[in-house]
Amino acid sequence: MKIALLGGTGPQGRGLALRWALAGVDVVVGSRQHEKGKRIAEELVERLGDSPGKITGMSNAEAVAEADEFVVLATPFAGHQPTLESLKDGLKGKILVDVVVPLAEDNAKKFAPPPEGSATEQAQAILGDDTPVVGAVHNVSAYVLDQVDTPINCDVLICGNKKDAKDRVMPLVEKLGVKVYNAGLAVSARAIEHMTAILIRLNSSKVTPFRHAGIKIWAEDE
Which positions touch its own copies (CB under 8 A)? 109, 111, 144, 153-154, 157, 181-184, 187-188, 190-192, 194-195, 197-199, 201-203, 205, 207-222
- Residues 161/186, Cβ–Cβ less than 8 Å: yes
Nearest-angstrom CA–CA distance, 201 and 189: 18
What is the sign, positive or negative, of the torsion defined by CA atoms of 81, 131, 93, 168? positive
* Region class of 147: left (phi > 0), else alpha (psi between -120 and 50), else beta: beta
Q: Which is nearer to its own copies, 21 or 183 (CB)?
A: 183
Nearest-angstrom CA–CA distance, 76 and 105: 10
Q: Which is nearer to its own copies, 3 or 100 (CB)?
A: 100
Q: Which is nearer to its own copies, 125 or 191 (CB)?
A: 191
Q: Which is nearer to its own copies, 43 or 203 (CB)?
A: 203
Quick check: helix, strand or coil at residue 96? Answer: strand
Least distance in angstroms from the C-beta of 147 to its own copies: 9
Least distance in angstroms from the C-beta of 154 to its own copies: 5
Residues pairing with 35 in the sheet: none
Least distance in angstroms from the C-beta of 157 to its own copies: 7
* Farthest-apart Cα atoms in the chain, separation: 53
Least distance in angstroms from the C-beta of 218 to its own copies: 5
Q: Which of 180, 94, 92 is nearest to 136 (CA)?
A: 180
Q: Which is nearer to its own copies, 20 or 111 (CB)?
A: 111
Least distance in angstroms from the C-beta of 129 to its own copies: 23
